[in-house]
Amino acid sequence: MDILKDPVSEASVWMADEYRRSDDWLFHFTDAHIVELDEALNQLRAKGLGGTRFGSDDFPLPTLGPALATERETLETGRGFSLMRGIPIDRYDLGDLTALYWGIGAYLGEGIYQNAQGDLVGHVTDHGNKFEGDDPYKYNIRAYTTTVAIPPHTDSCDLVGLLCVRPSKSGGESAVVSATALYNAFLDSRPDLLEPLYNGFHIDLVGKGTKAKELSEHRIPVFSYWGGKLSCRYNKGQIEHGAKKAHGGLTDIEQEAVDHFRELSVRPEFCLKMEFRPGDIQMLNNRTTLHSRTAFDDYVDTERRRLLLRLWLNSFTPRPMHPAFANQLNTGARGAVTVRT
């Protein structure tokens, strides 16, 4: 696999200060957009549709649709992230909100399964899974179903969206990081550590594979340069657990590379923190952007607990990816989680 020796030079390369000083990355839903969303929901009801059982043709958005196309371009070829603000959460019950969110997503990409239960709109909330310590992966539990901190990482899809329905009692702050900017930092600081990251790792799929407990069938690169584009896939915990199960653990140079990635990814100059309000939708390109959250404390009452609705989307015009990078779940290029229940 070719190793890119020159710095990445494209819009997805950015430092946090560039966006701390502006709100260019905020997209505001207008009153007219909300009217269109309401009318589209009414049309769904008239057709007997809802949930995730429809596409963009069933959800017409005359002015919002073109605006979403511009946001899609920003995600795919621009900075790689956006925060869309202004969905009036209190106006909708969870069923209508799910349909509305799915309808927006239908203009951005093709929704794929996120878990073995076949969810197309996932619930990022405390599912009440019990485990010891702060590492749910050790118990084959996915971190998004818990309250633990989730350091900078990527998901297994082209685009990921998170709609904030309810914030937590405290904590749960979000941040995004440019993976391509981190690559340039590797070139400056430790280019000798790039080779093990390009060679990749057998990833612990934590229930996302064809079986409940499974590793990736091949090594998945952290950095992959293909078709003139650099892409990134990183989750430190899944890399380390996968290596331990596959062959007893990482080598010294592999561990150093994985650790250096983590150390760079949490530096303030790379991390853009976001205030996540009810009705906000964070959208990002998983191939060029990492995301994280802090640990959070939540309410006892389940009706008040932190809830984000998650979309996993495959892009209509995907970034070119090496075959070993594209198959991340043992289900083929850009394949979804296997539904097993």
Give the per-residue pLDDT at 147.
95
User: 121: pLDDT confidence band, cut at 50, 70 and 90?
Assistant: very high
Give the per-residue pLDDT at 341.
77
User: What is the DSSP code string of 119-166?
Assistant: -SEEEES------STT-GGGGT--GGGSSS-EEEE--SSSEEEEEEEE
Domains and CATH numbers, the chain: 24-326 (3.60.130.10)
Q: SS3 of 226, please?
A: strand
Give the per-residue pLDDT at 1.
73
Quick check: pTM over 0.85?
yes
Give the per-residue pLDDT at 145.
94
Q: Which amino acid is at 168?
A: S
Do 291 and 173 contact (CB within 8 A), yes or no?
no
User: Which residues are CB-contacts of 206 (< 8 A; sequence separation ≥ 6)?
Assistant: 137, 140, 141, 142, 238, 241
Strand partners of residue 27 = 84
Mean pLDDT of 32-53: 97
d(CA 43, CA 100): 12
User: 167: pLDDT confidence band, cut at 50, 70 and 90?
Assistant: very high
Q: Compute CA distances 188 → 5, 222, 324, whole Å.
A: 11, 18, 26
d(CA 95, CA 92): 8
Of the candidates 103, 109, 143, 138, the residue with the CA atom closest to the CA atom of residue 126 = 143
Q: What is the pLDDT of residues 170-215, one digit of tens each?
A: 999 999 999 999 999 999 999 999 999 999 999 999 999 999 999 9
Give the per-residue pLDDT at 291.
98
Give the per-residue pLDDT at 66.
98
Interior CA angle at 154 toward 151 and 156, to 5°? 140
Q: Which amino acid is at 217?
A: E
Mean pLDDT of 155-165: 98
Give the per-residue pLDDT at 277.
96
CA end-to-end distance (rounded Å), the chain: 37
Of the candidates 249, 254, 145, the residue with the CA atom closest to the CA atom of residue 207 = 145
User: 113: pLDDT confidence band, cut at 50, 70 and 90?
Assistant: very high
**Mean pLDDT for all residues in the chain:** 97
Do 98 and 321 contact (CB within 8 A), yes or no?
no
Residue 258 has pLDDT above 80, yes or no: yes
Do 329 and 124 contact (CB within 8 A), yes or no?
no
